[in-house]
Amino acid sequence: MPSSFHTPSADSSSRDRDRSIRRPRPQISLGFMMLMMLIFALISAGILYASRVDAVQEEINLLVKGTPTSAGGEKSGRLPHLVFIMFTFTSPLLLAGVLSSGLTLLRWLKR
């Protein structure tokens, strides 16, 4: 008999060992996916609002075309600029507050 002869029980034990070594496939939970969609929606809303700010539009035109579209000393469009800055600073805090409140509510309802 050759020495390389394998019995079926030896093959099945090596297959079981190989299966235990393999790592599970990475998965994304539904809650994490919804959280990422919420974050990307907030980022998209910020970008949309930023595109309406005159100072940002002028910078983009300067970057793309190389020439400014209007005089740089104008005061028009200051309110959207301030609102955009406040939105940028407060949106992470608001998102954390909403998520924390939602989790607290879910924990309270599970009791």
Q: What is the pLDDT of residue 105?
A: 92
- Does the residue 37 lie in any domain? no
Residue 111 structural domain: 47-111
Per-residue pLDDT of the chain (111 residues; tens, 9 = 90+): 555 555 555 556 666 666 667 777 788 888 888 888 888 888 888 788 777 777 777 877 888 887 776 655 555 567 777 777 787 788 788 888 888 898 899 899 998
Eight-state DSSP code of residue 77: T
Total-model pTM:
0.46
Give the number of domains in the chain.
1
Q: What is the pLDDT of residue 48?
A: 82
Q: How far apart, in whole angstroms, are the C-alpha atoms of residue 55 and residue 111?
A: 51
Phi, psi torsion values for 76, nearest 5 degrees: -70, 150
- Does the residue 68 lie in any domain? yes
- Give the containing element (helix H, strand E) for 49: helix 30-51
Q: Determine contact, residues 45/90, Cβ cutoff 8 Å.
A: no
